[in-house]
């Protein structure tokens, strides 16, 4: 099996590392954790491109539905009051332009990718340092970036599904198991479940492996640090989505936070 060269100081892109990260992660993260250079641009670029393609495909389907007079309703629409249902319908009809369909979702998603990477990388480095890890901030940022590749795969799978089915994804993640009702905590749990799927679990496993190899922490501390960090990020995401839905009674585009 051919070995892939380690990171070079003058090299910027490492697309040849992608298969290793997804299918031979130990070998890949040994290489990543051994490099103190900034090698995070490749996975973030891949994720950003797939996010934009996802937005374009979803926007096209949204426009098609609008031209046919169809409206995509949230899963808990039947629990809205008649006034809320009327407000939702009116709001949807007023947000059919390209700015709302393409520009704002794209900007929101890209901010989610890059700001989410910064926040997760910073919190993860802080958590591992408090647990006694010896890794550097630069290595943590590299690990978080390369650990995001499963999210790129999720975006690609979503694009393929939408192109084949010609339908939007209405219930992402585990949202189908969300409890029903009006209390705020139920709506918050629903937003939280939307963020949990096999790809986020895959990402967590990659992060745990990367933390173990780069910090020297034992399996328990590595797992605990990563799980706590990801839980904080998911709570922040769910909180923002819940707040937006409460304020506007609108379905917010799912961000690609880490």
Nearest Cα residue to 74 out of 256, 257, 252, 238: 252
HSE at residue 76, side-chain half, CA atoms within 13 A, is: 25
Please say whether the beta carbons of 11 and 4 come within 8 A: no
Virtual CA dihedral for 85, 59, 162, 205, nearest 10 degrees? -90
Whether the pLDDT of residue 3 is over 60: the answer is no
Whether the pLDDT of residue 206 is over 50: the answer is yes
* Structure tokens given for 171: 């219930």
pLDDT of amino acid 251: 44
Whether the pLDDT of residue 137 is over 60: the answer is yes
Please say whether the beta carbons of 222 and 215 come within 8 A: yes
Please say whether the beta carbons of 191 and 242 come within 8 A: yes
Find the mean pLDDT for residues 187-199: 84
* Structure tokens given for 230: 């990801």
HEC secondary structure over the chain = CCCCCCCCCCCCCCHHHHHHHHHCHHHHHHHHHCCCCCCCHHHHHHHHHHHHHHHHHHHHHHHHHHHCCCCCCCCCHHHCCHHHHHHHHHHHHCCCCHHHHHHHHHHHHHHHHHHHHHHHHHHHHHHHHHCCCCCCHHHHHHHHHHCCHHHHHHHHHHHHHHHHHCCCCCCCCCHHHCCCCCCHHHHHHHHHHHCCCHHHHHHHHHHHHHHHHHHCCCHHHHHHHHHHHHHHHHHHHHHHHHHHHHHHCCCCCCCCCC
pLDDT of amino acid 181: 57
Whether the pLDDT of residue 1 is over 70: the answer is no
Whether the pLDDT of residue 176 is over 60: the answer is yes
- Mean pLDDT, rounded, of the chain: 84
Backbone dihedral region of 228: left (phi > 0), alpha (psi from -120 to 50 degrees) or beta? alpha
Whether the pLDDT of residue 9 is over 70: the answer is no
Percent of the chain exceeding pLDDT 70 equals: 80
Chain segment 52-111, per-residue pLDDT in tens: 999 999 999 888 876 775 666 666 677 777 887 777 777 766 667 788 888 989 999 999
Chain segment 25-50, per-residue pLDDT in tens: 999 999 999 888 889 999 999 999 99
119 vs 89 pLDDT, higher one: 119
Virtual CA dihedral for 238, 240, 242, 246, nearest 10 degrees? 180
Whether the pLDDT of residue 125 is over 60: the answer is yes
Least confidently predicted of 73-87, 139-153, 173-187: 173-187
Cα–Cα distance between 81 and 58 in angstroms, integer? 28
pLDDT of amino acid 84: 76
69 vs 196 pLDDT, higher one: 196
Whether the pLDDT of residue 249 is over 60: the answer is no
pLDDT band at 10 (very low <50, low <70, confident <90, very high): low
pLDDT of amino acid 70: 61
254 vs 244 pLDDT, higher one: 244
Please say whether the beta carbons of 30 and 6 come within 8 A: no
Percent of the chain exceeding pLDDT 90 equals: 51
pLDDT of amino acid 142: 96
């Amino acid at each position: 099996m051919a070995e892939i060269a380690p990171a070079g100081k003058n090299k910027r892109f490492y697309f040849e590392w992608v298969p290793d990260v997804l299918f031979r992660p130990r070998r890949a993260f040994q290489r990543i954790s051994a490099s103190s250079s900034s090698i995070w641009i490749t996975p973030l670029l891949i994720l950003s491109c797939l996010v934009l393609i996802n937005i374009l495909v979803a926007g096209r389907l949204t426009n098609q539905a609008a031209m046919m007079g169809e409206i995509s309703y949230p899963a808990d629409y039947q629990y809205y009051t008649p006034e809320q249902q009327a407000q939702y319908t009116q709001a949807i009809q007023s947000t059919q332009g390209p700015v709302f369909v393409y520009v704002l979702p794209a900007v929101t998603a890209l901010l989610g990718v890059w700001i989410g990477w910064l926040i997760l990388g910073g919190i993860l480095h802080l958590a591992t340092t408090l647990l006694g890890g010896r890794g550097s901030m630069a290595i943590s940022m590299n690990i978080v970036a390369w650990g995001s590749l499963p999210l790129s795969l999720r975006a690609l799978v979503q694009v393929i599904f939408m192109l084949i089915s010609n339908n939007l994804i209405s219930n992402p993640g585990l949202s189908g198991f969300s409890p029903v009702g009006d209390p705020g905590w139920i709506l918050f749990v629903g937003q939280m479940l939307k963020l949990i799927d096999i790809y986020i679990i895959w990402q967590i496993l990659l992060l745990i492996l990367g933390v173990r190899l780069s910090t020297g922490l034992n399996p328990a501390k590595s797992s605990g640090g990563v799980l706590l960090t990801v839980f904080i990020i998911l709570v922040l995401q769910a909180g923002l989505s819940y707040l937006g839905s409460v304020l506007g009674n609108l379905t917010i585009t799912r961000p690609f936070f880490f």
